[in-house]
Amino acid sequence: MAGKLVCFLVLWFKLTVGLRQALDKPNIIIFLADDMGYGDLSSYGHPSQEFGPVDQMGREGMRFTQWYSAALFCTPSRGAMLTGRYPVRIGLYSTSKQIYLPVFVPASRFGLPKEEVTMAEALRDLGYATGMNGKWHLGINEFNYKDGNHLPMHHGFDFVGTTLPFSLVWRCDNTKKLLPIPDRPFCFLYSNDTIRQQPFNPHNLTSTLLLEAKSFVYNHQDEPFFFYFSFPQTHSNLFSSEDFKNSSRRGPYGDNVNEMSWAVGEMLKLLRELNLERNTLAIFLSDHGPEREMCKEGGSADPLKGWKGTSWDGGVRVPAIAWWPGTLPADVTNHEVISSMDLFNTAIDLAGGTPPTDRVIDGRSLKEVLLQGGKTPRETLFHYCGKHMMAVRYRQYKVHYHTQNLLTANELSEFCGPTSIPDKKGRNFCMDCGGTCVTTHDPPLIFNMDQDPKEEYPLDPQEYKDLLEDVERLLSEHKATMVMGKPLLNDLDKSLSPCCNPPYCWCNYSPVHTTGKI
């Protein structure tokens, strides 16, 4: 009898703890794709991409049609998402006249400032276990080639698995399409704060990341946790494990999407196996628009205009899905205007905390949008390119003060040539924030995004004077709160570039997982 009572009490305790966690501190997982376009998923209208677990995630949850990145490139968009602040406040922009750098590179001296509060730090203070793996791209070294002072463990992540502190780039391609050998100063794989491979072979990297993420969830299943699963897909250079090569009729890019989607599905499957799905909010999204200058190696923003590096909607509107069985309604499409910065406030709100009050926070909590189907908490969204304010989204309207010039379909075809590798043929693929890449509009261009999401038919500014006055007032109010941080993307020092064994920078201390599926 006593034994049965003990078993009953243990079961009651577990159920009580589980219920408390579900109501008070839900687990949070962010799946972040790299350079995936708005039109890259089957559920977002791609005609040849296979329906996969990410699409199924949308059927079981909430799919957003007007979710926006806070920036046009990886470093500023990721910094904004993790802090809930516009990148210009943080200093994630460049003012260099010698070379335009929109992101941190291996030789960058700075990183995400430590005085910024990240989502991981805020949740850790609220009792969460925190972890991440995959792409970081928010700084590496500060004083020498191996100090790692800007890496994730200094920003609230207690567990840091296999990471790409920089990114995948063509300079790391090991198929000899562009280079005879990879450019080692740009090609390295870390575990926590230590280089494990330089250069690295990415082809089974997804399985390694998945195994680590599963282990983290399993190890922390009895406490609230936050995990940031930052995929290297779909940034060039594209890679796939043997199990996913030729899996898509779309080609290598589709293989890339299928493998990433499979990994997301495996994580959701694990949550179900551990009975954690009803107290876990999982979000899938992309950091910004697709890398069209990579031609067949880049994604699709269809039906939107523009791509990565532009403030047209194709550069900033991204696919986004929220999944929380039993809490969020299934198979719902949400058309509210959302920013990736809103994840910061949302996570803290759901965890029972409050955002920092000693600084301007640009994010808004999506708690009512998610739990009650409420309206968006934001009326405006400001689109920056570097330090330049390009456009304002106000309710259903978008007002462009400056726009990046786009190649026509014929010019893009000529730029790309007959292969999947870019062939510039003397043309410039504009991805700058000023100069000849940008056109200034006075009066500004106005689009009704509900009726014209392709931004094809500008409205007559004479008929929208009241709207423009409202936007000018809101813009003035926004500028009054804007104290730009010191530009952090300017300073480079080649001696800071990671190197596992100087001067060779060539090593393989810890091979990644060697099979495609686990």
Q: Calculate mean pLDDT across residues 459-473.
A: 97
State residue 514's pLDDT score.
47
Closest CA to 414 of 395, 427, 398: 427
Q: Calculate mean pLDDT across residues 60-72.
A: 97
The SS3 call for residue 132 is strand
pLDDT exceeds 80 at position 516: no
137 is catalytic: yes
Over residues 403-427, the pLDDT tens digits come to 999 888 787 777 777 655 555 444 5
The CA-atom distances, in angstroms, between 79 and each of 83, 124, 129 are 6, 18, 20
State residue 279's pLDDT score.
97
State residue 2's pLDDT score.
56
Other beta carbons within 10 Å of 504: 10
Q: Is 64 left (phi over 0), alpha (psi -120 to 50) or beta?
A: beta
State residue 22's pLDDT score.
43
| Two structure tokens written together for 295 | 């031609």
Closest CA to 344 of 70, 58, 129: 70
Interior angle at CA 300, CA 294 and CA 302, nearest 5: 145
Other beta carbons within 10 Å of 206: 29
Write the DSSP symbol of residue 342: H
Confidence label for 436 from pLDDT (cuts 50, 70 and 90): confident
Q: Is residue 322 part of a domain?
A: yes
513 is catalytic: no
Interior angle at CA 86, CA 84 and CA 88, nearest 5: 140
CATH number for the domain that contains residue 101: 3.40.720.10
DSSP labels, 259-328: HHHHHHHHHHHHHHHTT-GGGEEEEEEESSS--GGGGGGS---TTSS--TT-SSHHHHEEEEEEE-TTTS
Q: What residue type is assigned to position 363 of the chain?
A: G
Q: Calculate mean pLDDT across residues 499-516.
A: 77
State residue 5's pLDDT score.
52
- Per the DSSP assignment, residues forming a β-bridge with 129 are 225
State residue 90's pLDDT score.
97
pLDDT exceeds 80 at position 20: no
Half-sphere exposure of 121 (CA within 13 A, CB side): 15
Q: Is residue 16 part of a domain?
A: no
Q: How far apart are CA 264 and CA 257, in angstroms?
A: 11
Q: Calculate mean pLDDT across residues 18-42.
A: 84
pLDDT exceeds 80 at position 429: no
Find where tokens 């990183």 sit: 111
Q: Calculate mean pLDDT across residues 293-315.
A: 92
Q: Is residue 431 part of a domain?
A: no
Burial of 283 (0-12, 13-18, 19+ CB in 10 A): buried
Contacts of 433 (CB under 8 A, 6+ apart): 100, 102, 385, 386, 387, 388, 390
Q: Is residue 445 part of a domain?
A: no
State residue 420's pLDDT score.
55
Confidence label for 311 from pLDDT (cuts 50, 70 and 90): very high
CA dihedral 470, 475, 481, 487 (to 10 degrees): 170
Q: Which one of the listed residues 7, 46, 137, 235 is annotated catalytic? A: 137
> Domain count of the chain?
1
DSSP labels, 203-263: TTHHHHHHHHHHHHHHHTTTS-EEEEEE--TTSSSP---TTTTT--TT-HHHHHHHHHHHH
pLDDT exceeds 60 at position 38: yes
Burial of 172 (0-12, 13-18, 19+ CB in 10 A): buried
State residue 208's pLDDT score.
95
Over residues 90-126, the pLDDT tens digits come to 999 998 776 678 999 999 999 999 999 999 999 999 9
Over residues 129-144, the pLDDT tens digits come to 999 999 999 999 999 9
Q: How far apart are CA 288 and CA 34, in angstroms?
A: 8
pLDDT exceeds 70 at position 7: no
Q: Which one of the listed residues 46, 74, 383, 505 is annotated catalytic? A: 74
Higher pLDDT, 236 or 179: 236
Domain ranges, residue 206: 26-378+487-508
Higher pLDDT, 325 or 423: 325
Q: Calculate mean pLDDT across residues 336-349.
A: 98
Contacts of 462 (CB under 8 A, 6+ apart): none
Q: Is residue 305 part of a domain?
A: yes
Q: Is residue 434 part of a domain?
A: no
State residue 428's pLDDT score.
60
Q: Is residue 270 part of a domain?
A: yes
Half-sphere exposure of 162 (CA within 13 A, CB side): 25
Q: Is residue 18 part of a domain?
A: no
State residue 416's pLDDT score.
79
